[in-house]
Amino acid sequence: MQIIDGKKLAKEIRDDIAKEVERLKKERDITPGLAVILVGDDPASHAYVKMKAKACKEAGIYSITHEMPESISQSEIEETILMMNKNPNIDGILVQLPLPSHIDTTKILELIDPKKDVDGFHAYNFGRLMTGLDGFVPCTPLGVMEMLKAYGIDPKGKDACVVGASNIVGKPMAALLLNAFATVDICHIYTKNLPEHTRRADILVVGVGKAGLITEEMVKEGAVVIDIGINRLDDGTLVGDVDYDNVAPKCSYITPVPGGVGPMTIAMLLKNTLKAAKERA
C-alpha cells in the first residue's frame, strides 16, 4: 500500500506555478489576478478563502476578496461579477460556495465570463469537459487526475466508481475518468446496494461528506482509493469518507485526509488562474 501524498505534490506544482508566473511578469508584463466573492460569516468559507489568498500570494498571483454580508441582494452580487468580467486585470473569478438560500446560485455562476471561470462551474466549461474539449475543469476533480498521473496510475481500461454525483465533484470527476478511457460507474444517495458497485472498482473515488461511509468489505483488493470527503468529528478530528485504518491495507494506493486531495484543489485553482492569464496574454 502506498499513500498518495497530496501535500507534497501540491507544493511541487505550486512551486512550478510561481516560476511560470514570474516568467509571465517578466516576458509579458502580466500579473495573473484572481477575484473572490465571499458572502456571509461561515467560518469554513472564510478559512478556505484565507488559504486561497495565502496560496496566491506565495505564487505571485494578485488576489482580491469581495466580502459581502449575509443579507446581500442577488442584484448586488450580479453587479460585482459584471464589474469583474470587464476588469482586464482580473483573470479568474471565484464565488465561494455555498451562498445564502435567498441567492440563486446557478444564475450567479452562469453570469461569470467563461474565460474567467477558474472554478470550472459554468455550464459552458462543463459542456466542453463532457465533450472532451479544452476549458476550465473544476479544481478538485482536476487535482485527482493530476495525482493519478503523478503516481503513474493510468485509468485507461480500468473500472472506476465515483461515489457522489454533485456538479462540483462527482459529475466532472466521472467525465474526466471517462475521457481518460476508464469504464465509469456513478453512485449517489439513491443507488441500490452501494457495495456491489464499489467492490468492482479498480479506482474508487468518494466525495459525499459522510464519515466512514466506505468500509473494508466495500473495497476490492489492490484498488486505488481517492477520498475527497472532509468531515469533522465531535472531538475536532478531520476524517474523510473512507474508514482509512481498515481500508488502507487492502489498497495499492490511497489518499489520506487531511493531506490528500485538499491541497491539490488549491494548487489547481492557481493553475487555472495562470491558464486564464496566459490566454489573456
Residue positions annotated with a catalytic role: 52, 96, 119
- Could you say which DSSP state residue 6 is in? H
Q: Are strands 238-239 and 231-232 parallel, antiparallel or unpaired?
A: antiparallel
Helix (H) or strand (E) holding 79: helix 74-86
C-beta separation of 207 from 237 below 8 A: no
- Residue listed under C-alpha cell 471517462: 178
Across the strands, what pairs with 227? 206
Helix (H) or strand (E) holding 66: strand 62-68
Cα angle for residues 93, 36, 83 (degrees, 5° grid):
60
Cα gap 181→159, rounded to integer Å: 10
Cα gap 146→11, rounded to integer Å: 13
Cα gap 228→226, rounded to integer Å: 6
14-25 core/surface letters (b: 16 or more CB in 10 A; e: else): beebbebbeebe
CA 42 to chain centre: 19
Q: What is the phi/psi pair of residue 265, to 5°? A: -60, -45
